[in-house]
Amino acid sequence: MNQKGILSEINLKGIRSSGAGGQNVNKVATKIELTFDLKNSAALSENEKNVLAKKLANRISKDSNIILQCDESRSQFQNKKIIIQRFLDLLFESLKKPKIRKNTKPTKGSIKRRLDSKKSNSEKKANRKKLRF
């Protein structure tokens, strides 16, 4: 994955944000919308595109765009930094290969402890019963 190539392919658009900000809200488009065309990206290989399409299926629009929005800050610049970092983190986390779990045997000690606890529980419950002659 080519990070510089990906950054050159994203589109950032300023939108008027709701919420706190006073008159500034009415004048400045501080909310940022990031769009990334996954299907036509040259920075990603076909294999990476397929993996991202599967893992991010709920975030991808019908025309294969990944769309993210940020209006956390009252500053447009801050929102741009936040959304770009969030986008890169999303891509890196989605492309990480999960560790393969290696099956292991339980140790002799753990087997012995388990059987001992089962035996003690059995004896405890057996002692609760009324004796019949």
Q: Which of 30, 36, 37, 27 is nearest to 15 (CA)?
A: 30
Which CATH number applies to 3-95: 2.40.170.20, 3.20.190.10, 3.40.718.10, 3.30.160.20?
Answer: 3.30.160.20
pLDDT band at 21 (very low <50, low <70, confident <90, very high): low
Residue-level pLDDT at 133: 76
- Mean pLDDT to the nearest integer, 108-122: 97
Tell me which residue of 36, 62, 61, 64 sits closest to 50, measured CA to CA: 64
pLDDT digits (tens, 9 = 90+) for 45-98: 999 999 999 999 898 999 989 999 998 888 889 999 999 999 999 999 999 988
Amino acid at site 31:
K
Going from N- to C-terminal start, the domains of the chain cover 3-95
